[in-house]
């Protein structure tokens, strides 16, 4: 399916996304640079994460709830949305509207906006959020990925 770029602080995982191309990596590294976060290329530190993702892509109900995460970016609102999204159980889906409702918000669109900036793909299952009519509205990493992930959770994955 592709490679996944992971980044973590000493507090927890802070970034996870599919690697697009080299240029994309530059942007990410730049992102961390601006925050004075040094990147240490040490894959050994990601044993746990790797294992979790491995489970997930095997179709196991990995919720990542045990994985410590660290929001290096994000406004209070975004975090609320992310945390709420994270509560969605494996295999289930939610709508922007439902999230908004839980947060006592009327800003459906803002939910999507927050999710679009989700730095923790999969860990925060933004792919489980779809439009109120059941349509896949959008996805940062590409709708293909979203579709794939949803099928994966339905047990129809084909890698």
Partner DNA sequence: TACATAAGAATAG
Partner DNA sequence: CTATTCTTATGTA
Binding residues for DNA, rule: CB under 7 A, are 74-75, 77-78, 95-97, 105-116, 118, 126-127, 129, 131-133, 137-140
Could you tell me the smallest distance in angstroms from the CB atom of residue 16 to DNA?
12
Phi, psi for residue 60 in degrees, rounded to 5: -75, 155
Cβ nearer to DNA, comparing 46 with 77: 77
Q: For this structure, is 54 an active site residue?
A: no
Could you tell me the smallest distance in angstroms from the CB atom of residue 49 to DNA?
20
User: Given 52, 100, 124, 126, which residue is catalytic?
Assistant: 126
Cβ nearer to DNA, comparing 6 with 17: 17
Q: Provide, for the chain, the percentages of residues in helix, strand and coil under a 3-state DSSP scheme, each rounded to the nearest 5.
A: 45, 10, 45
Could you tell me the smallest distance in angstroms from the CB atom of residue 131 to DNA?
4
DSSP E strands: which ranges in the chain? Answer: 4-8, 13-18, 94-95, 129-130
Burial of residue 121 (CB within 10 Å: 0-12, 13-18, 19+) is buried
Cβ nearer to DNA, comparing 59 with 138: 138
Q: Tell me, what DSSP letter sits at residue 124? A: B
List active site positions: 126
């Amino acid at each position: 399916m592709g490679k996944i770029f992971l980044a973590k602080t000493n507090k927890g995982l802070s970034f996870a996304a599919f690697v697009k191309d080299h240029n994309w990596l530059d942007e990410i590294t730049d992102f961390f640079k601006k925050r004075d976060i040094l990147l240490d290329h040490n894959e050994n530190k990601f044993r746990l994460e790797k294992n979790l993702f491995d489970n997930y892509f095997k179709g196991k109900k990995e919720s990542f709830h045990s994985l410590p995460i660290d929001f290096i970016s994000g406004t209070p609102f975004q975090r609320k949305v992310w945390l709420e999204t994270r509560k969605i159980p494996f295999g289930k889906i939610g709508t922007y509207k439902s999230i908004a409702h839980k947060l006592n918000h009327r800003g459906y669109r803002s939910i999507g906006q927050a999710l679009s900036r989700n730095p923790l793909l999969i860990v925060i299952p933004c792919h489980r959020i779809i439009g109120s009519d059941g349509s896949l509205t959008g996805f940062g990493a590409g709708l293909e990925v979203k579709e794939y992930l949803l099928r994966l959770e339905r047990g129809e994955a084909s890698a």
